Amino acid sequence: MTVLEINAISKSYGKIKALDAVSFSIPQGSVFGLLGPNGSGKTTMLSIILDVLQADKGGYKWFGQPPSYQHRKKIGSLLETPNLYHYLTAVQNLRITQSISGRGNEDDIHAVLEKVNLHERKNSRFSTYSLGMKQRLAIAAALLGDPAVLVLDEPTNGLDPVGIAEIRNLIKGLSDHGHTVIMASHLLDEVEKVCDHVAILKRGKLIASGAVESVLSAEDCIVVNAADQVLLEDCINGYPGLIRMSRSAEGIECYFAKGTSSAEQINRFCHEKGLVLSQLVSKKKRLEEKFFELTAE
């Protein structure tokens, strides 16, 4: 089932086109990463799907239907620094959030504190929390009412490595409990660790979307090494099906169309040319590499 379907959404601020006919869909139960450099349109997109901003053109559907108040109640969100009171406890802060939003009840407050692993500190003042704990409490506020979908804008922004790890583990846990999580982020390593689907924006345009594996695997990459690098390059350059090759710290990276490479055949080809390989490994491209490849000027 598709939780969110975005159809040709465009949004401009004067002469600046923040979003340009962007379309993609988000499957139920996924952890979906919305990626892009600063100014790419990530926050604008989240604001539109949460009905904070209105699109100039295009539209979107939640749960297969046009957006409505009933659908909005199924969505928890954290777009900015949360309005939590430093002199109040976690429970007191959540009671205020609950009163304003009308979502959840007293039992729900304790349930969300359990989910974000803060129940033991429920009576501690917000001011005594670490940055990671403060962010987890903000996410707990978004979880009131047990929403099917959680929308987070840069959930690890400003956190230290410990806080980032806390939020990463929390997001994984929420996904395991059936929540769909949509998160905008520029921390590509973290996105790769938690997200199973991504959409990449650049200057308001969608340049890639889909399952992380499909976005990363447009090509096969095999790294080869030999004592004579010049001879190796000459040899590999004649290998059938080679798209391109480049040198890296690991060796010579050879790129082929997805599903067309064979380490065994490459080894045989080089052996027949009188070249003995000292290394022959398949390399999986990281999301960070793909991101910079797609967003490079």
Give residue limits of the domains in the chain: 2-213, 217-295
* CATH code of the region 217-295: 3.30.70.100
- Give the model's pLDDT for residue 186: 78
Please give the structure tokens belonging to residue 70.
């009933």
CATH class of 2-213: alpha beta
- Give the model's pLDDT for residue 110: 92
Please give the structure tokens belonging to residue 76.
């928890």
The separation between CA 61 and the C-alpha centre of its own chain, rounded to angstroms, equals 20
Sign of the four-CA dihedral 67, 70, 75, 80: positive
270: nearest Cα among 233, 225, 222, 236: 236
Per-residue pLDDT of the chain (297 residues; tens, 9 = 90+): 899 999 999 999 998 999 999 999 999 999 999 988 888 899 999 999 999 999 999 999 999 998 887 778 889 988 876 678 999 999 999 999 888 877 777 888 999 999 899 999 999 999 999 988 998 999 999 999 889 999 999 888 878 888 888 888 989 999 998 899 999 987 777 787 889 999 989 889 998 888 887 776 667 788 999 988 888 989 988 899 888 888 887 889 888 877 788 888 999 999 998 889 999 888 766 666 666 666 665
Sign of the four-CA dihedral 156, 160, 165, 167: negative
pTM value? 0.76
- Give the model's pLDDT for residue 285: 64
Please give the structure tokens belonging to residue 13.
């601020």
**Burial (CB count within 10 angstroms: exposed 0-12, middle 13-18, buried 19+), residue 297:** exposed
